[in-house]
Amino acid sequence: MRLVHHRDGEAAPSAGEVETRILADDVERAEGPVAQSLGLMFRPSIPEGYALVFPFAEPADRTIHTLFVFEPLDVLWLVDDEVIKVDRLRPFRGLTHGLADTVIELRAGGADGVEPGDTVVLEN
């Protein structure tokens, strides 16, 4: 799986009109309450090109913290693949929340250039 960013919200770019780039080519899904509660906690490092995706059944207010996360994170908040919010959180002290049906955690810098209104999709 890989995580692909389409600038300006275009999921199917045509003739070079839309900037597309791969945010991560090593993607893990945090499914179920235990995996979603742990997230990236207690991991000694976050590899470049890695993303942890939290899929949810419907949009709701979600909270992310970095207690016991040893590196800064970029967090993307998506509703129907559209980026709603982008945050950068410091290790051990970050706390944020937002509306999302999907939350994505990446190593800090992994979401550089991603802005609200863009599209991020998980591809096989």
DSSP string, 25-48: SEEEE--SHHHHHHTTTT-S---T
For the domain that residue 95 is a member of, what is the CATH number? Answer: 2.60.120.1140
- pLDDT value, residue 15: 53
In a domain, residue 105? The reply is yes
Listed as ranges, residues in the chain with pLDDT below 70 are: 9-18
Q: Is 84 left (phi over 0), alpha (psi -120 to 50) or beta?
A: alpha
In a domain, residue 11? The reply is no
Residue 52 is part of which domain span?
24-112
Query: How many domains are contained in the chain?
Result: 1
pLDDT digits (tens, 9 = 90+) for 63-83: 999 999 999 999 999 999 999
- pLDDT value, residue 30: 95
- pLDDT value, residue 14: 57
Within 8 A by CB and 6+ apart from 23, the residues are 3, 4, 5, 51, 106, 110, 111, 114, 120
pTM: 0.90
Alpha helices in the chain (DSSP H): 33-38
